[in-house]
Chain A
Amino acid sequence: MPKKTKRRLLRGKFAPDKLSPADIERKAQEDSAAGRYREAITGFKQLLKQEPSPARRLALADAYAGRARELAAKDMLKEALAIWENRAGLGEDIAFDPEHAALLLRMGRVEPVLDLFASGNTLAPPQRDRLRSLLAAAYLSGADLVVERLPADDPVVLHGASARAALTAYCAAEDAALQSALAAIPFRSPYRDWVRILKALQHLPDAPHEAAGLLAGLGEESAFRHLRQAAQLALLPEASFLEAIPDAGKTSVRFACTLRGWPQARIALWEELDRLGGDPRPDTRLRFMNRHREALGTDWVRRRGLRLLLPGYPASRRQLAALGTGPLSKGETLLLAAWDAERREDLWGEQEHWKRYADHLIREGPEGTPETEYGLRIALALRRCDQVADVLGHEAPSGDPEALDMLVAGQLEESLTWDPDDRDTYLRLIGYYRRGKRRKDVRRLLEQARVRWPKDMQVLEAALDTAIESGAFKKAAGIAREILALDSINSGVRERLVAAHLAHARKQIPKGRPDLARKEVVQAGEWARSAHARTEIDLVAGLIALIEDAETGAPTLRDLVERLGGGLAAHLALALAGQALSFSLPKLFKQVGLGKPTPGGRDDLLAVLARLRTYLDGGGEITGGLIPYLTKALTDALWHELSKSETEAACETLRRYGLQKARLDAAHAALKRWKGEPLFEFHAFEAKCPGNPDDCSDKDIERLEAALERAQEEGDTRTEQRIGKILIAIGPMPFLPPPPAVGPDSPSTGPEALAALIRVIGLDRILDTLEMPPEVKRDLKKLARQQGTEAAAEALTSLLRMASDIIDPEADSPTPRPPPRRPAGP
């Protein structure tokens, strides 16, 4: 009964009776091309019954060949042979397929192949060569009948003895005999591929690349291809090999495993693993490991098996006991809980469980564990939360003893009891306390660290920075000398000291102590080596002189500005130094007697920008009169003389300073030369409407939208994102709702759903997807800006309905249609 049902179903499925011959032919061709050979055979056979033709017979022969190969690959040899025979029975004009002969030889039926070869005048020369090669392979596999039946002058016979001798020599590892046997086989021989394979195998295991090169030279239809495939399998890296062997034949796997040095036990173990499937469940793997615990090591199985409990934690905790290996110990339970917290990225859980694990180790540990391996284990557990979550990396102490940072800092401090030999923990705590200005803690840790690592550069630099921060310049100088003794070209140390002394000098001025300020400047001079540092010192010294006595100070500063080139860059240097000492800039320049700077051309402009960047990078701030001063000074700057990359850098620097007027000028000058360049459009827009994009005109926004499209086209992601942010800020998008439901029952076509979709993926992308014409895009985007997303969604819905009506005016609308509404025109 079930069989009958199946047959009926099949007939119903194909239903060839109901199809026209042309339809059957088309379907059969499609089936054949798609590898559905059984269906193709059925179709072509029916066609041949209805309307026989040579072309259809050939097509059926191809389908038979495909099906026979398919069956042979599944080791269904008899079935495959029956199909080949059906194919051969189609007529003498159907060309013999060497795969048919290969199957006969594989089944040990050599005679029919030899008969075919003997009467093979009808075979084309390439087929004849291939058949000969197959016979050569058969002879090497032990089919002696091949040389008995073939003529004595056939190359299969002539070179057969040497080919077999080569095999014997290879297997016996007699390389000299192997070389000699291979040398006796000429290049044009049916054993040519055999020679290549043996030469490749000789390169193993020491020269796998050479072996791979030789094997790659064999064709896909080689009579020796199974041997080649097995050898190539042996060449794979271990991980790829393990992935490949489930799909490889058993003989190939055994061959490759032997070459790779796999012992029998390993092959058996792999076969057992393979039976578990590609990705066995953790409990299945755990059972497997438990079965083989003697070979794997009981302790190893226990420890590595714990990892397999993690995916099913906490329910998996009972699995070990179920295997009869004893329940989880307290330590194992705590360790699993800590791993689980890490897996869930539960920061508080990590802190708590690693602490509990460490406490457990402390309780259970032997006496005198600090600074032993056991102590190190405790220390590592205590440090783990900070290691994973970088809790102390950027934070300053919160001061709340219950806060995570304080708890973690406490654990790190405790860890030093168990493992005081970890410099990074000291540095981490020092950095953390420095950020909170907890100088006592910093000093304590620094003292300990300096005793342990007196010549460590990172410890010394932390000590130097700490000394500078606390104004202990004498101490800082001593540490700096230590650093320079170890690393004489460490310019950073000198610069830090110069900057610190100058900062200290500046602080003395408001206190009315120019004498102390001068002293600091002199000390700064002792450390300065670079031209930049010397200039900074000279500027501060000149300004102090100006404060003390304008008559001597002013000429000094005038000379200095002249020495620096007298251009805008030199004036800027004085302005920045003056600003740091709270000078009013117009008053300062008047006092010094400096007028408007002479424009110094391109180099001067680049020097100005470089000085601004250095100042900003060094933590400098722009305050008070500096912006009006710079805005005025840069009014006639020669932006058009800068290259594209220089202008880009200039715009970025001016943006950092908030020098919008100069930035706008620079961007406009660039846009004259590189029209529509997205980055300059962005700078021009932002500089024109800083802080309030609503002030910009529609034209500005349209330019920005065009720039966005161009940035997208050019793959300029950064500019695209920057422009996108501005456009989002302009658009009415107060919040993002959750994405609309998608499904057959969801109301996903109304304006509300569309509005939600616009908020989620953006109007641009929706319009692009709908391939809207540019003018419609522009109108809708403008509508969205002016009246909101809902209005744009409503207009878009109306448009789509209108379009739908034009395409299918008879279609019924399930909902009452709102009156069509055109988007507002420009």
Chain B
Amino acid sequence: MSDPYLTLGLGEDADDAAVEAAYLEGIKRFPPERDAHRFETLRRAYETLRTQRGRLAYELFNTSPPEAADLLDRAAPIDASRRPEPELFAALLRGDA
């Protein structure tokens, strides 16, 4: 299981309201018809963290080791999408994979 805090883009001190706000924002950006997988991940993260009881249970009982995506999201979160430089286009157009 991916780290639900990272999925929702929250710090580990988030309270009920912050969790709900992050979830609503997330599903607005990724509704199920746009990205079903992302939506499902958001929903699961929300279900895990929506109460203080759930957050503590996650901290105490979740033994999944951190995944590669967790490490990346934690150390260097994704920014806004950018357009590639012309040089990258040129390389791919030349046939470099």
Contact = CB atoms under 8 A, between A and B. Distances in A.
Q: Do A and B share a complex? A: yes
Interface of A: 73, 102-103, 105-106, 108, 137-138, 140-142, 167-168, 170-171, 173, 201, 204-205, 207-209, 224, 226-227, 229-230, 237-239, 242, 248-252, 254-255, 258-263, 265-266, 269-270, 273, 282, 285, 288-289, 292, 295-297, 300, 303-304, 307-308, 310, 335, 339, 342-343, 373, 376-377, 380-381, 384, 422
Contacts of B88: 251, 254-255, 258
Given A170-B83, A226-B95, A260 B78 contact: yes
Given A168-B86, A237-B37, A377 B60 contact: yes
Nearest to A264: B76
Contact of B63 (A170, A289, A295, A339): A339
Given A167-B89, A255-B84, A106 B94 contact: yes
A224 B96 CA distance: 11
Contacts of A295: 74-76
18 contacts: A73-B97, A140-B93, A171-B86, A201-B83, A226-B93, A226-B97, A227-B93, A238-B38, A248-B97, A252-B92, A258-B84, A259-B83, A261-B81, A262-B76, A273-B71, A289-B66, A295-B76, A422-B53
B68 interface: yes
B7 to A, nearest CB: 10
B91 interface: yes
Given A282-B65, A308-B65, A376-B56, A292 B84 contact: no
A335 B60 contact: yes
A343 B88 CA distance: 48
Contacts of A307: 62-66
Interface of B: 2-3, 12, 34-35, 37-38, 52-53, 56-57, 59-66, 68-72, 74-86, 88-97
Nearest to B97: A249
B75 to A, nearest CB: 4
Nearest to A104: B95
Contact of B72 (A167, A208, A269, A282): A269
A103 B95 contact: yes
Contacts of A269: 71-72, 75-76
B60 A380 contact: yes
A285 B67 CA distance: 10
A255 B92 contact: yes
A269 B73 CA distance: 10
B60 A258 contact: no
Given A208-B34, A237-B38, A273 B68 contact: yes
Contacts of B56: 373, 376-377, 380
Contacts of B52: 373, 376
Contact of A292 (B57, B65, B75): B75
A103 B96 CA distance: 10
Contacts of A376: 52-53, 56
B15 to A, nearest CB: 11
A794 B26 CA distance: 69
A77 B76 CA distance: 35
Choose among B35, B66, B85, B86 the residue with the greatest number of A CB atoms under 10 Å from its CB.
B66
Interface SS of A by simple majority: helix
Given A168-B86, A239-B69, A285-B66, 5 more contacts: A171-B84, A171-B86, A242-B72, A265-B75, A273-B72
Contacts, number: 168
Contact of A106 (B3, B71, B96): B96
B71 A296 contact: yes
A422 B94 CA distance: 65
Contacts of A102: 95
Contacts of A248: 97
Given A297-B74, A373-B52, A251 B91 contact: yes
Given A258-B88, A266-B78, A380-B57, A173 B83 contact: yes
A260 B81 contact: yes
Contacts of B70: 304
Nearest to A307: B65
A749 to B, nearest CB: 48
B41 to A, nearest CB: 8
Nearest to B89: A167
A138 B75 contact: no
B16 to A, nearest CB: 13
A207 B90 CA distance: 25
B53 A204 contact: no
Contact of B34 (A105, A209, A296, A304): A209
A171 B3 CA distance: 34
B63 A310 contact: yes
B78 A262 contact: yes
A477 to B, nearest CB: 36
B96 A226 contact: yes
A103 B92 CA distance: 13
**5 cross-chain pairs, A with B, having the tightest CB-CB distances, nearest first:** A249-B97, A106-B95, A266-B76, A295-B75, A141-B93
Contacts of B34: 207-209
Given A252-B92, A304-B66, A376-B53, A171 B83 contact: yes
Contacts of A266: 72, 75-78
Nearest to B62: A307
Contacts of A226: 92-93, 95-97
B79 A263 contact: yes
Nearest to A230: B92
A204 B81 contact: yes
B68 A296 contact: no
Nearest to A376: B56
A342 B35 CA distance: 35
A53 B57 CA distance: 76
Given A167-B86, A259-B82, A105 B94 contact: yes
A191 B12 CA distance: 50
Nearest to B2: A239
Nearest to A294: B75
A300 B64 contact: no
Given A209-B34, A227-B92, A295-B75, A258 B82 contact: yes
Contacts of B86: 167-168, 171
Given A170-B83, A242-B69, A229 B97 contact: yes
Given A263-B79, A343-B63, A376-B56, A105 B72 contact: no
